[in-house]
């Protein structure tokens, strides 16, 4: 059965079983491989996308639960958050980079709701995103810097 989705501003169809996790629809059926498979259990956050603007672990969301809401993936993050991508690159935040799609999606969602997050805000919002390379201190710094850019100030 073809399910209708709205992904990155485009209406698309996917002929999959309704219980298929959104992650695998994005990756295997829509060719959007920027969203990563890390654990399949919502423990690691590598698969984080936005559904209706909120960060969601797409490995645990059946695609049938995402048919009525706009979905944004890492491939479309730049349009709304160029500053996040810039600071991430400039500061060499990524090491292997595999978790960074998820990190960026969680960071973007944080900044949408909180223009000037504190360290504690960042820790809370990013708690679901593991990084085995250990890029956490740079993620924290980069979010502060991006927040400052968005609010027109300078990073501390």
Partner 1 sequence: MNAITNLSPDLSRRNFLGVSGVFVLGACLPSCARTPAPPVATEPFVPNLFLALEPDGTVHVTAHRSEMGQGIRTALAQVVADELDADWSRVVVDQADGDAKYGDQNTDGSRSILLNYERLRTAGAAARMMLRQAAAQHWGVGVDEVEATNHEVIHAGSGQRLGYGDLAGIAATLPVPEDPPRKSEAEHRYIGKHAVHVDAADIVRGKGTYGADFLMPNMATAVVVRCPWLGGGVKNILNKPNTAPGLLAIEILDPSASAGPVFNPVGGVAVVADDTYTAMRIARDLEIEWADSPNQTFSSDALQEELRKALTQPGTPVPNAEKGDVDAVFAEGMTELSATYETPFLAHAPMEPPVAIADVSGGMCVVHGPFQDPQSARGLVAAWLGYEPENVTVTPTLLGGAFGRKSKPDFGLEAVELSKRLGRPIRVQWSREDDIRHDYFHASSAQYHRAAIDERGHPKAWLERTAFPSITTVFDGGATMPADWELEMGFSNLPYTVENQRMEFAGLRPGVRIGWMRSVCNIFHAFSANVFADEMAAAAGRDPIEHRLEILPASGVLKVPGMQPPEGHGQDVGRLRHVIERVRALSEWDRPRPEGTGLGFAVHHSFRSYVAVVLEASVANGTPTVSNAYVVLDCGTYVNADTCVAQMEGAVVFGLSLALLGKIDMADGVVAQSNFHDYPLLRISEAPATSVELVPAQGRLPAGVGEPGVPPVAPALVNALFAATGTRHRSLPIKVA
Binding site for partner 1 (CB under 8 A): 16-17, 20-21, 24, 27-29, 32-41, 43-44, 46, 73-75, 77-78, 84-85, 88-90, 92, 94-101, 104, 122-124, 126-127, 129-140
Least spacing, CB of residue 11 vs partner 1, in Å: 20
Least spacing, CB of residue 149 vs partner 1, in Å: 15
What are the DSSP E strand ranges found in the chain? 2-7, 10-15, 48-51, 54-57, 70-72
Least spacing, CB of residue 41 vs partner 1, in Å: 5
Residues in CB range of 79: below 8 A, 6 or more apart: none
Residue 86 or 112: the one with the smaller Cβ distance to partner 1 is 86
Residue 17 or 115: the one with the smaller Cβ distance to partner 1 is 17
What dihedral do alpha carbons 135, 138, 143, 144 form, nearest 10°? 150
Using CA atoms, how far apart are residues 60 and 70, in angstroms rounded to an integer?
17
Do 94 and 88 touch, CB atoms closer than 8 A?
yes
Residue 66 or 104: the one with the smaller Cβ distance to partner 1 is 104
Least spacing, CB of residue 136 vs partner 1, in Å: 4
Residue 11 or 15: the one with the smaller Cβ distance to partner 1 is 15
Token pair for 31: 């060719």
């Amino acid at each position: 059965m073809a399910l209708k989705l709205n992904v990155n501003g485009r209406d698309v169809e996917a002929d999959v079983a309704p219980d298929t996790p959104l992650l695998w629809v994005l990756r295997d059926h829509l060719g959007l491989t920027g969203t990563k498979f890390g654990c399949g259990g919502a423990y690691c956050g590598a698969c984080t996308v936005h559904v209706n603007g909120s960060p969601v672990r797409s490995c645990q969301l059946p695609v049938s639960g995402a048919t009525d809401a706009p979905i944004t993936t890492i491939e479309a993050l730049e349009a709304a958050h160029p500053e996040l991508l810039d600071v991430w690159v400039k500061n060499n935040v990524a090491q292997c980079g595999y978790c960074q799609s998820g990190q960026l999606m969680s960071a973007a969602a944080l900044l949408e709701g909180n223009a000037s997050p504190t360290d504690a805000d960042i820790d809370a919002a990013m708690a679901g995103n593991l990084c085995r390379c250990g890029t956490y201190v740079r993620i924290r710094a980069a979010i502060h810097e991006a927040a400052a850019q968005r609010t027109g100030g300078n990073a501390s």
